[in-house]
């Protein structure tokens, strides 16, 4: 099983030892939760959901409890899950009161004829299925609120300056941990079945009901019988590049191993002007975790229970 907790401007010199340790403990907890499912008869779908639940409930991550704020000062969350053997999938987008969006995504997959539900409709569906609903205040954290305030201040400064095309482009590319982040998990069970799941609060200061790649099947989340993929980063580019499916397509049509396919996809995202990373796991247990940012919170657990964690390049 492989997980990620978001990619971005994650520099060791900006990280206190205490915060670094907190992230490592959180990643380990998520891996152990997923591993426990696999070792007690659960399948890979159960495992990725369990791992995501741990990260959604941890305010360190931009998902669930730690979701970033929109321009209007709201938390709007997206999530998706996909079962490789049948390519069944479910997703929700723009939910504001579902404690664990990944549970809603799985409910959409298993208890509806649809793949994606959004906004109030997704919330009504979640309520009807008995999922845990909370006040929107539950998701508020001071760290994310201050991130929004910084973004709004930057917007205000931009309106006072004249930018030529080059300056505008460089300003657009100055994304950091305040802007985006996602959590994701991919798993392979004892019967060789793959699953993928992704959950996110999106981008700080996002507007107009913006939806990124995470809940879009084939863009931010994908699984079939050969590979499972979860992406994180600047979602607009992952959507345009159909990034998660592109990994699977390169493996199927070009015979690329998973590491080469994943690295090629991230290189193409970078060539388009986007940044981020992905995790991928194939049916033989080979994994890949490429990214083109300064860091990506990531980890893996082997069949024997050995945990490997990394944050920086």
pLDDT, tens only, 105-155: 999 999 999 999 999 999 999 999 999 999 999 999 999 999 999 999 987
What digits encode the pLDDT tens for the residues 156-214?
A: 776 544 433 333 333 344 444 445 579 999 999 999 999 999 999 999 999 999 999 99
88 C-beta neighbours (distance < 10 Å), count: 16
What digits encode the pLDDT tens for the residues 56-102?
A: 999 999 999 999 999 999 999 999 999 999 999 999 999 999 999 99
Backbone angles phi and psi of 312, in degrees to 5: -100, 175
Total residue count of the chain as it appears in this document: 313
Q: What is the pTM of this model?
A: 0.93
* In the block, residue with structure tokens 């993928």: 196
Q: Where are the domains positioned within the chain?
A: 2-312
What digits encode the pLDDT tens for the residues 248-278?
A: 999 999 999 999 999 999 999 999 999 999 9
Q: What is the pLDDT, as a whole number, of residue 286?
A: 98
Strand partners, 307: 301
Catalytic residues: 182
Q: Which CATH number is associated with domain 2-312?
A: 3.60.20.30
Backbone angles phi and psi of 187, in degrees to 5: -145, 155
Q: What is the pLDDT, as a whole number, of residue 162?
A: 40
294 C-beta neighbours (distance < 10 Å), count: 18
Give every CB contact of residue 123 below 8 A, 6+ residues apart in sequence. Answer: 95, 96, 97, 98, 133
108 C-beta neighbours (distance < 10 Å), count: 26
Q: What is the pLDDT, as a whole number, of residue 294?
A: 95
Checking DSSP bridges between strand 88-95 and strand 116-118, what pairing results, if any? parallel
Q: What is the mean pLDDT of the chain?
A: 93
């Amino acid at each position: 099983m492989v997980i990620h907790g978001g990619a971005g401007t994650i520099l060791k010199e900006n990280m206190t030892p205490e915060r670094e340790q907190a992230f490592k403990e959180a990643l380990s907890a998520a891996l152990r939760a997923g591993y426990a499912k696999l070792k007690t008869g659960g399948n890979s779908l159960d495992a990725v959901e369990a791992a995501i639940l741990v990260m959604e409930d941890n305010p360190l991550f931009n998902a669930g409890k730690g979701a970033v704020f929109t321009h209007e000062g709201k938390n709007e969350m997206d999530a998706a899950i996909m079962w490789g053997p049948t390519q069944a999938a479910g997703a929700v987008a723009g939910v504001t009161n579902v404690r664990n969006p990944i549970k809603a995504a799985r409910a959409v997959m298993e208890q509806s004829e649809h793949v994606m539900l959004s906004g109030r409709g997704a919330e009504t569906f979640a309520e009807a299925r008995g999922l845990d609903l909370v006040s929107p205040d539950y998701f508020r954290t001071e760290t994310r609120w201050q991130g929004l305030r910084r973004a709004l201040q930057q917007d205000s400064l931009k309106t006072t300056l004249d930018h030529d095309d080059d300056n505008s482009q460089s300003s657009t590319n100055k994304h950091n941990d305040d802007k985006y982040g996602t959590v994701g998990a991919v798993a392979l069970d004892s019967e060789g079945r793959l699953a993928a799941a992704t959950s996110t609060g999106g981008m700080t200061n996002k507007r107009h009901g913006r939806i990124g790649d995470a809940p879009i099947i084939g863009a931010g989340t994908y699984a079939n019988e050969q590979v499972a993929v979860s992406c994180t980063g600047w979602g607009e580019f992952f959507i345009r590049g159909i990034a998660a499916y592109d990994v699977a397509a390169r493996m199927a049509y070009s015979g690329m191993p998973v590491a080469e396919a994943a690295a090629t996809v991230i290189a193409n995202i970078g060539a388009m002007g986007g940044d981020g990373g992905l995790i991928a796991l194939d049916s033989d247990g080979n994994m890949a975790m490429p990214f083109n940012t300064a860091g990506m919170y990531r980890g893996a657990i082997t069949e024997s229970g050995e945990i490997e964690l990394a944050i920086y390049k």
